[in-house]
């Protein structure tokens, strides 16, 4: 459902008519000020009394980062070392918990490689995002498949779509691919799910028996690689600012975006660090970007 109808109908793309960013109130929404968020959480609790919820997805627009991608929630500590039942059921072997939140995005990339970018996905949870929909649903409802799906306002970098804005047809085809990926995720035919798991095990190797890191030696046949690969610089935990009531707003000043002198200096330091980290990530990921574009294949724009 549309969770910001009064804001959108009045031309807002982040705030409700009350002037509130609704993706920052999921921890404790007000029944009067944030009714759509409040009642969505009530609906989810009631639904989960009767049946399991497989996946939560919050669809946004992103004004800076290109492509369509996801933000997820990686497990931490003991949860990351556990095993969870396979979504396919039917006596299927359990999955590694540390990879569970990456499986569906990887399947979606397989169904829409010319539009969806797995390499642009991030599964870090920053403290400033703890009141967003994906993090609250992950923690309160114990959903490892809890995502923000971001569709860029700035178009694509992939294949022949590079440099073009997404059309309505592109976004509709992504919606169809999302449904197909869900079917692959729960299908009794586990071949697509197992293939995604094998790729993820190579991209994100676990720990060797002796306690050292496992090193994957052959990634040449795997497309759309993220920055976090063996020998790489590690997955960036920077989440760019967006303008679509998204998961990753950078604003932390007062109501008008301004703060005191000390806060202004801190913001400048953060901005300088942000730019330095992004430049480092671009340099380290250049060969992977080439692999990703090769894997995307040719697709006609429009």
In the numeric block, which tokens belong to residue 253? 């000043």
Active site residues: 150
In the numeric block, which tokens belong to residue 231? 């020998």
CATH 3.40.630.10 fits 52-203, yes or no: yes
Cα→Cα distances 103→181, 195, 298, Å:
10, 10, 25
The SS3 call for residue 36 is helix
Alpha-carbon distance 161 to 69, whole Å?
15
Alpha-carbon distance 238 to 120, whole Å?
11
Name the residue ranges covered by the structural domains of the chain: 1-51, 52-203
Amino acid 204: pLDDT: 84
The dihedral of CA 42, 43, 48, 50: what is its sign? positive
Alpha-carbon distance 279 to 259, whole Å?
27
| 69 beta partners | 150
**Beta carbons of 40 and 136 less than 8 angstroms apart:** no
Mind listing the pLDDT tens digit for each residue in 117-161?
Answer: 999 999 999 999 999 999 999 999 999 899 999 999 999 998 889
Task: Give the number of other Cβ atoms within 10 Å of residue 162's Cβ.
Answer: 14
Mind listing the pLDDT tens digit for each residue in 87-102?
Answer: 655 455 566 677 889 9
Which segments of 118-222 does DSSP mark as H helices, in order? 133-140, 168-186, 191-203
Task: Give the number of other Cβ atoms within 10 Å of residue 118's Cβ.
Answer: 26
Mind listing the pLDDT tens digit for each residue in 71-87?
Answer: 999 987 666 666 666 66
The DSSP code for 161 is G
Alpha-carbon distance 69 to 205, whole Å?
22
In the numeric block, which tokens belong to residue 15? 């705030």
Question: Which residue, among 4, 51, 28, 57, has the nearest Cα to 177 in the 3D structure?
Answer: 57
Low-confidence ranges of the chain (pLDDT < 70): 77-96, 207-302
Residue 109: exposure state from Cβ atoms within 10 A (0-12, 13-18, ≥19): buried
Question: Which residue, among 86, 60, 85, has the nearest Cα to 71 in the 3D structure?
Answer: 60
| Pair type for strands 56-62 and 146-152 | parallel
Amino acid 95: pLDDT: 66
Alpha-carbon distance 184 to 192, whole Å?
6
> Left (φ > 0), alpha (ψ -120 to 50) or beta: where does 273 sit?
alpha
State the number of CA atoms in the 13 A half-sphere of 247 facing the CB.
32
- First-to-final CA distance of the chain: 28
Q: Length of the chain in residues, anyone?
A: 302
Question: Which residue, among 145, 55, 140, has the nearest Cα to 97 in the 3D structure?
Answer: 145
Does an H or E element contain 47, and which? helix 35-50
């Amino acid at each position: 459902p549309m969770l910001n109808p009064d804001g959108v109908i009045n031309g807002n793309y982040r705030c409700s008519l009350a002037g509130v960013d609704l993706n920052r109130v999921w921890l404790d929404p007000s029944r009067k000020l944030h009714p759509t968020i409040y009642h969505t959480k009530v609906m989810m609790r009631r639904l989960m009394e009767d049946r399991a919820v497989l996946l939560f997805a919050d669809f946004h627009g992103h004004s800076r980062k290109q492509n369509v991608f996801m933000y997820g929630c990686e497990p931490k500590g003991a949860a990351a070392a556990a095993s969870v039942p396979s979504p396919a059921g039917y006596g299927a072997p359990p999955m590694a918990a540390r990879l569970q939140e990456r499986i569906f995005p990887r399947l979606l990339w397989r169904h829409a490689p010319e539009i969806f970018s797995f390499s642009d996905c991030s599964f870090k949870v920053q403290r400033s995002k703890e009141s967003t929909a994906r993090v609250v649903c992950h923690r309160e409802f114990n959903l490892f498949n809890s995502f923000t799906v971001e569709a860029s306002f700035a178009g694509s970098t992939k294949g022949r779509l590079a440099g073009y804005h997404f059309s309505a047809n592109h976004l509709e085809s992504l919606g169809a691919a999302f449904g197909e990926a869900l079917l692959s995720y729960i299908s009794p035919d586990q071949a697509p799910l197992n293939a995604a798991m094998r790729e993820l095990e190579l991209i994100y190797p676990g720990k060797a028996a002796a306690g050292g890191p496992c090193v994957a030696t052959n990634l040449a046949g795997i497309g759309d690689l993220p920055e976090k690969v063996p020998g790489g610089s590690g997955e960036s935990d920077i989440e760019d600012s967006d303008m679509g009531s998204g998961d990753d707003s950078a604003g932390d000043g007062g109501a008008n975006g301004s703060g005191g002198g000390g806060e202004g200096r801190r913001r400048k330091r953060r901005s300088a660090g942000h730019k330095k980290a992004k430049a480092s990530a671009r340099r380290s990921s250049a060969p992977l970007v080439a692999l990703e574009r090769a894997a995307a294949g040719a697709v006609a724009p429009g």
